[in-house]
Structure 1
Amino acid sequence: MTLRPQPPTPVTEVHDSAAEALAAVDQQYTANRRTLVALLASANAPLSLPEIMELQPDLAQSSVYRTLGVLEQAGVALRIVTGDEFARFELAEAHSGLHHHHLICTACGSVEDVTLPSDVEAAVVSELEALAHRHGFAPADHQVDLIGVCAACQQAA
């Protein structure tokens, strides 16, 4: 697993926003939570529990799993469900500053972050807002996940 050379949001801001989000749900920003937030902020793609354990072998797996649940509850981390046995986790957009979408492989469970050209993103937002309006829905955000088979799995088949 490779890491981003620099997170898009400065690390101090990520930690400050994570601490605020956790405080809002009456949770402390513990050392383990800080470690996982830093790891998610530096990852170049959503991470599975085994990948997290590989990158942070000094943490107990049960603690990591519980901590991810707390971070998800506080809106700091986002869980991405895939076709394999492990969900993936990433820093939520509100904390990372990165708006993106995902390509999710149903064969191997890989998740790739993708961004749309700004004009396409604007068209998607416009269409989603119109759809929401027609249904009397007040959207807060959106995420688009394309589910299919990655190039590597297609080639292997």
Structure 2
Amino acid sequence: MNAQAQITPPAIGEVWPGQGGIYAGIMPARGDAKPYHLILGDELGRFEWGPYGDESPATSLTDGQTNTLALLEHGDYPAAKAAVTHAADGHSDFYLPAIVELYEIWLNFGYRDGYWLWSSSQRSAYDAFYMDFVGGYQYYGDKYYALRVRPVRRLFIQ
């Protein structure tokens, strides 16, 4: 077992000392992807998702890390850029979560301040998905909306 597998997380919703944020639960394995702990970083403010009318390569509903990297390579995407520039507790591997990662966080937390958060998941050249933390609803909206951004990082489970 490696050191990551021996780490014991705190209760969901509590700050995870040394990990850069709040423990948000486990993202289950999907396909070839291993399960991992989700760590929710601080709210960074409101940002536009990215260029309206631009078809980006960020189409995964489950893999925010891959989406975020694709957005940064593709062009100017303010929400993704804000997420990757976040650092906490010596960690700088944050990214803009995919819509399913946000939903997993909502399932674990329930109601959390009732605000909308951008995901890294594009719906079309004009829209991207976001999550309402009041009722757990997933919506899509114009990429030029300025919505809140909360980055996440992952810690793999062996």
TM-score (norm 1): 0.29
Higher relative contact order (CA 8 A, sep 6+): 2
TM-score (norm 2): 0.29
Higher strand share: 2
Higher helix share: 1
